[in-house]
Chain A
Amino acid sequence: AQSVTQLGSHVSVSEGALVLLRCNYSSSVPPYLFWYVQYPNQGLQLLLKYTSAATLVKGINGFEAEFKKSETSFHLTKPSAHMSDAAEYFCAVSAANQAGTALIFGKGTTLSVSS
């Protein structure tokens, strides 16, 4: 079975500061990992995904995440926060070798960006 833990339900940064959103996963099989973003009053949008290729994954809007098997982590980073990055972020996992399994989502981290 898979599970995801997002550390910190709320993260606040200043504009221009580093963004770090933490995600740890548990999976008995090789995982696929995802980060989704939800802007206010909108649905979820895929930021990036890890599917067992390169461990450093680059996504949209300058975000990237690194898969670290030894740490069972998939933390999301962005070097310099923008006001427009304020949103809720969800980490999710699925089983790489089990076609048809649905995504398991973390509880989400709300990112606030101050000027």
Chain B
Amino acid sequence: DADVTQTPRNRITKTGKRIMLECSQTKGHDRMYWYRQDPGLGLRLIYYSFDVKDINKGEISDGYSVSRQAQAKFSLSLESAIPNQTALYFCATSDPSRASTDTQYFGPGTRLTVL
């Protein structure tokens, strides 16, 4: 079984709809991240969480919110989706015992299309 899973893997939605992307991990890591990938722009950080009580905004948090329901679960929400949020979204985790190396482990991604 994969260590970091994301659901759904693909989603098509309409402008104005609320949508939630979910991430679960079995690695036992405290740190979790949400990125979006756009062609030619690489990965950009949306939000990150160092533990259940700690949530931090990343580079491009506007239009997004997150919830850390448990150590293993980190959800990303788009309250009112817009077309320029069409992208590939990745969840990642890292090991706090080796925090200074920041090696991150990625899920398979969710491809979101907003019409």
List A residues at the B interface (Cβ < 8 Å).
Answer: 9, 32, 34, 36, 42-46, 49, 51, 90, 94, 96-97, 99-103, 105-108
Contact = CB atoms under 8 A, between A and B. Distances in A.
Contact of A107 (B42, B50, B100, B105): B42
Interface string B39-73: 01111110010100000001000000000000000
Contact of B99 (A44, A46, A99, A108): A99
Contact of B100 (A9, A42, A45, A99): A99
A34 B106 contact: no
A8 to B, nearest CB: 12
B99 to A, nearest CB: 5
A73 B44 CA distance: 21
Given A42-B108, A49-B103, A102-B45, A9 B58 contact: no
> Dominant SS at the A interface?
loop
Contacts of A45: 106
A106 B90 contact: no
Given A100-B50, A105-B42, A43 B107 contact: yes
A38 B100 CA distance: 23
Interface in B80-100: 90, 92, 99-100
B102 A32 contact: yes
